[in-house]
């Protein structure tokens, strides 16, 4: 028993060392969709860096497994118990998170969304949404890609979907569908949920390559999946046959555009979403007024301008 208590003490000291005392003005919990994929890391590190600059302590508490709605729900409840000054969340399940948001409001904690909206009953329940117009983004990139294939009489399209419980996926798909409706050359062959993961998209694309002999365009709902699709296509030796587009404008995606692996991506300015939401928190808690939608990004990144966006990100 003594030894056991000894172990416990050592563990306590270790953790106490990890948790340093921070004298920041405000404390914020940031809940993203996972702890592993590149896009979310850019958003999180920009948020933390912005917080350090303006005196907001940002603690990230994203689920380990990608797209885990329940872990996000629990993280919200824990943040409420911690009595943080504000909660920033990119909900996996835009509807499912609503009861937790209502609990936060009951406890007097303001909630901000970044990247993905929550389907709250009263729009004023969310202080602000920091993000790109996903429907317009989806429309713009689809239209750009259809334009690149202007010499084709028929465009065989594959969509690698994200996660149908999130608002971003639904909006991007709505935008893409609007573009499809305007262009009668487009035939949607198939679409499948890749859950925004490179590995999933690669597997999905491998089977589509077997299933369909003629594919002209692959629209992936984020860069990770676009690169996954490219990997499958290049492994099959069919790079010349089809174009690929991504969404995010994260460094990997922009690099892939420059390397000619994918044709375009949509810049949703993930670092801007991170720093933007923390700046909005600070402004709101300081008593300033905050717009209900802080728009960031929205540009189509092409081989012509990708280097510019990349340079901006690296700065």
Partner 1 sequence: MNSQSLRSRRETLAHYYHKVPATVFLLFGMILFFSLLSDKYFTVSNIMNVIVQCSSGVGIVALASYLAICSTGVDLSLGGIVSLSGMITAKILTWDIPLFSQIRNNNPVFLLLIAVTAAIAAGAAIGSMNGLILARTKIPSFIVTLGMYKICETFSRVIAGGTTIRINGLPLFEFIGNGSLLNVQIGRRSIGLLPISMIIMLLLYIFFSFVMKKTRFGTYVYAIGGNNESAALSGINTVLTRYRVFLYGGMIAAFTGIIFTSRLTSASAQNGLGLEFDGIAAAVVGGAAMSGGRSTPGRTLIGALIISVMKNGFNMIGMSNSIQMIAIGCVLIAVVSVDTLRNRRRFV
Q: Which residues bind partner 1 (CB under 8 A)?
A: 1, 4-5, 7-8, 11-12, 15-16, 18-19, 35, 59-65, 67-70, 73-75, 77-83, 93, 95-99, 106-108, 164-165, 193
Residue 276: closest CA among 172, 130, 78? 130
Q: Which residue, 47 or 264, is less far from partner 1 as judged by CB?
A: 47
Q: Which residue, 11 or 187, is less far from partner 1 as judged by CB?
A: 11
Q: Which residue, 41 or 282, is less far from partner 1 as judged by CB?
A: 41
**Shortest distance, position 74 Cβ to partner 1, whole Å:** 5
**Shortest distance, position 29 Cβ to partner 1, whole Å:** 8
**Shortest distance, position 273 Cβ to partner 1, whole Å:** 20
> How many other CB atoms sit within 10 Å of the CB of residue 273?
29
Q: Which residue, 18 or 210, is less far from partner 1 as judged by CB?
A: 18
**Shortest distance, position 18 Cβ to partner 1, whole Å:** 7
**Shortest distance, position 69 Cβ to partner 1, whole Å:** 6
Rg over alpha carbons for the chain, rounded to the nearest Å, is 21
Could you give the CA distance from residue 280 to residue 247 in angstroms, rounded to a whole number?
A: 24
Q: Which residue, 21 or 213, is less far from partner 1 as judged by CB?
A: 21
């Amino acid at each position: 028993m003594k030894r056991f208590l000894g172990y416990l003490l050592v563990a306590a000291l270790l953790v106490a060392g990890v948790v340093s005392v921070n004298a920041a003005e405000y404390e914020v919990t940031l809940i993203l969709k996972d702890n592993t994929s590149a896009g979310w890391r850019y958003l999180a590190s920009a948020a933390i860096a912005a917080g350090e600059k303006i005196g907001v302590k940002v603690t990230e508490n994203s689920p380990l497994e990608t797209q885990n709605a329940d872990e996000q729900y629990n993280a919200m409840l824990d943040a409420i118990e911690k009595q943080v000054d504000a909660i920033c969340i990119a909900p996996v399940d835009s509807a499912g998170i609503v009861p937790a948001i209502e609990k936060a409001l009951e406890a007097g904690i303001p909630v901000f969304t970044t990247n993905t909206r929550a389907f709250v009953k009263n729009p004023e329940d969310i202080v602000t949404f920091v993000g790109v117009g996903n429907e317009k983004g989806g429309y713009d990139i689809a239209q750009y890609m259809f334009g690149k294939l202007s010499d084709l009489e028929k465009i065989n399209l594959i969509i690698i979907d994200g996660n149908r419980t999130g608002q971003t996926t639904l909006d991007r798909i709505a935008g893409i569908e609007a573009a499809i409706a305007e262009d009668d050359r487009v035939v949607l062959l198939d679409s499948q949920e890749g859950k925004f993961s490179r590995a999933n998209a690669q597997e999905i694309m491998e089977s589509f390559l077997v299933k369909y002999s003629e594919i002209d365009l692959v629209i992936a709902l984020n860069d990770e999946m676009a690169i996954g699709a490219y990997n499958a296509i290049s492994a099959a030796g069919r790079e010349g046959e089809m174009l690929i587009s991504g969404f995010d404008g994260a460094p990997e995606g922009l690099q892939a555009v420059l390397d000619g692996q994918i044709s375009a991506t949509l810049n949703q300015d993930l670092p801007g979403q991170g720093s933007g939401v923390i700046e909005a928190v600070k402004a709101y808690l300081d008593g300033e007024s905050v717009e209900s939608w802080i728009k960031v990004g929205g540009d189509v990144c092409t081989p012509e301008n990708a280097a510019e966006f990349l340079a901006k990100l690296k700065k």
